[in-house]
Amino acid sequence: MQGPLKKMYTRLESTVQYDLSLGDERIPLNPLIGKSIKLTYTGNIVCVHCNRTIKKSFNQGYCYPCFISLAQCDMCIMRPETCHYEAGTCREPAWGEVFCFQPHRVYLANSSGVKVGITRQTQIPTRWIDQGAVQALPIFEVQSRYISGLIEIVIAKHVSDKTSWQKMLKNNVEPIDLVAKRDELVIKCKQELAEISQRFGEHAIKFLTEEAVVDIHFPVDFYPVKVKSFNFDKYPEVSGVLHGIKGQYLLLDNGVINIRKFSGYEVEFSS
């Protein structure tokens, strides 16, 4: 099978189910755990937005014209507290109104230790799976991405807002009482959260007190002791025994590869 890579498709079940996406084709990966697979990069790259053939991709799969023109490639996607729409400088206001002004959730997750994050409500639990989280708990529901970003930076003063991908892949993660951590953080951030609520109105932020912790189990037989990362730009052929899948990584017996990083890369897959 051959086609441009897309982010792996996931389904939350008792064990996360993964499909490798090559263009419009999907290959179920869970049945291949413990078997040899091979991915060969053909040298072709297709822009994930406009489908133009390109020599180099930017921001996980975009051609340069799309990268410099699309609002979805702006830094405020990664740092929503710097929202261009809020500042009046959004390059695509109509897109921003659809993407940014919809319910978002602020959450705690345990991927390489406790972290705070944000995502659109429609991206739960996909976002947690993509980050390799073994536990997750929504703590606030808010009306816009900008508000979620403001809350995130308040909470990030007390816990990390990043994942150590090497630690996540080694599975060096201890269980955390996320409910207790949520309550502790809400107390610590009480004043700042109240100021945000006062600024946007009491209905803009909802404290989620009834949500349960979601436990996530990944299809992994063996976790790597040392993490060696493959790169299609240096080595076009990646092959080995598939020992597991976590986040957007394939864990092979001889290294790991981040599938999302190579979105748009045309790959031939065989097993």
- pLDDT tens, position by position, for the chain (271 residues)? 999 999 999 999 999 999 999 999 999 999 999 999 999 999 999 999 999 999 999 999 999 999 999 999 999 998 999 999 899 999 999 999 999 999 999 999 999 999 999 999 999 999 999 999 999 999 999 999 999 999 999 999 999 999 999 999 999 899 999 999 999 999 999 999 999 999 999 889 999 999 999 999 999 999 999 999 999 999 999 999 999 999 999 999 999 999 999 999 999 999 9
Q: In a 3-state reduction of DSSP, which class is residue 266?
A: strand
Instruction: Spell out where the chain has E strands.
Output: 2-11, 17-22, 25-28, 36-46, 53-54, 104-110, 114-120, 135-142, 205-207, 214-215, 237-246, 249-252, 255-258, 265-270
pLDDT at 231: 95
| Contact yes or no for 123/175 (Cβ under 8 A) | no
Question: Is residue 243 within 8 Å of 251, Cβ to Cβ?
Answer: yes
Q: 125: which DSSP letter?
A: T
Q: 130 by DSSP, 3-state: which?
A: helix
Helix then strand then coil, % of the chain, to nearest 5: 30, 35, 35
CB of 161 closer than 8 Å to CB of 151: no
H-helix or E-strand spanning residue 51 = none
CA distances in angstroms from 134 to 99, 198, 248, 249, listed in the order given: 27, 34, 14, 15
Please state the pTM of the whole predicted model: 0.94
Task: Name, in order, each residue with C-beta under 8 angstroms of 175's C-beta and a sequence gap of 6 or more.
Answer: 110, 134, 135
* 224/243 Cα distance (integer angstroms): 9
One-letter amino acid at 256 equals V
Contact status, residue 61 vs residue 47, Cβ threshold 8 Å: yes
Place of tokens 């976790």: 223
**DSSP assignment of 212-240:** PPEE----BS---SS--B--TTT-SEEEE
Backbone angles phi, psi at 184, to 5 degrees: -65, -45
Collect all residues with Cβ–Cβ distance below 8 Å to 72 and sequence separation of at least 6.
92, 95, 99
Per-residue pLDDT tens digits for 73-126: 999 998 999 999 899 999 999 999 999 999 999 999 999 999 999 999 999 999
Over the chain, what is the mean pLDDT? Answer: 95
Q: What is the separation of C-alpha 138 from the centre of its chain, rounded to a whole number of angstroms?
A: 15
Non-local (6+) Cβ contacts of 183 within 8 A are none
**Best CA proximity match to 237, nearest among 251, 221, 257, 263:** 257
Amino acid identity for residue 62 in this structure: Y
